[in-house]
Structure 1
């Protein structure tokens, strides 16, 4: 395992990390980052030591305390993943950390912030690094009630799940409206959606292709766990029996089409995934005969006002009781080991990366 000594000692309070241990808030030594590079047609991922002047421009220099691994990050680590355009590159679409240098009046040294979405970890060096430099307009101040670690247990996946639940609520889907279905429930978005909906008092049916996740999903609050096959009927019909008051769909394709045909009159579906395909083999009947709504969820380009609102919900009303059971924590050096299982659909819940070492 690669390691580097910044003179930080062992475990420390997150909020005191920079101001107490790095005079002036600026590190002297190099720092660790996960770097993806391409040589000919071969993509290589390894841990490298970088200097601050190798980071891209930005108004905020941030000491990254936690990041997370998402499917998009795994794609960034392989050839033809269609994420990284120029090499070398630091992936990581999520991060939570502490501002050590600011050239923006809205942020000061010592502020705890989080970043998800925009071009972070896609065309701008991301969060799988002990330091990041970003535009100030991407940063969300950590809301009261949420730690840096908890922010990354949520990450983009939790933010997307919260946006989905909020949309259902705003479209009149309430706990007494009837059961709500969550597909892809063993993944990051799905598992957080199950936990949030359960906390809010909804009857939640969780659909997954992973039988070994049944007990975990029940523990998160699912009323019942269904297989993928139970969601998709043997014979596809434009309209099926009305079952769900609403749904959070993380799959797309035939699964989403089946859900649309089974939503109760006036119901709503929040869709954010495409693991089941990008085609949607449905008809207009669910929309014009049952008045249902299909709501697309985009967490990448959401405006700052919406971001701040949703993160406050995650810090308060939406914060699951079982949050500490929803993640696996790894070191930066372990990221390459996790990527294959994530690409194969074998990852479980959320994976966060501790960058304090």
Structure 2
């Protein structure tokens, strides 16, 4: 039995701009998790989830032939009619992760066996509403990690990200993968999305092994130091956001390409300055860049009517402004969470911030940064 976990995430800066290959964003992994357990079975492969029930994948496992030679594993599970519909359902990312890992196992000439895979998370509210912490990405990363270990594949952090990213792109071709990277690496992270079309063509043309080994154009994965004098507070609006629809609107708005280019450039400058001051430990300057990121995204929101800044998110930011903190929506906006960055000398004002949030119907979330492997060592 193999059990692996992957943390959720929050965007600190660079949302929407990160959809452009090579355009930077800063994310942080948080201590809410997807947990995946894989157990060998003699029966059919089954998938189960604490929120989605169970799915059976009838299949014939590969193994050793009577002559002692490895038989070739199937690149895809044997799927019964009707299971195909599940590819667009609650198991879509898990199924994609299973397929990607098993393609890699097949390419390496290794045997497979049937298994039961169970998923549980604490990345949603008790009533099931999404918090905006990247549950799909965390589930995908934890599934890839658990199945890789189950099949005795050794993966580094970047290889795990790449494997989970390939699984993600099979479901959501436009995904930036920032949430996947944060779940794979933990801690604070500077991320630039790769050229996703080029990545997909690598897997289609040369297989999973080739895609893991080849350079990914525009990709940046740079763990950042945890800013010791900064304190991050998170508020939840209680309003789920429709991330996919907002991303499609931005990517499909070709007639504003020139305006988008300006947005990408200004956002990149803001994120680069944030990273500079983070690495130099200047939280006051970091706060300035958080406000810059909020302003830049606000301009884009007004130009495109994305609905990024809702009344509750506006109230969340105003409450932080009132105590001298820096705040902004995190992620696609339109609901979900907002972040507030405080200096160490402002931590005594956390209770006041929470009171202000609660009066506006915003729930403070008790979240901490999930450390990197190096931080945990």
TM-score by length of 2: 0.24
- Given the two structures, how large is their TM-score scaled by the length of structure 1? 0.25
Specify which structure has the bigger relative contact order, considering alpha-carbon pairs within 8 angstroms and separated by 6 or more residues.
2
> Larger % of strand: which?
1
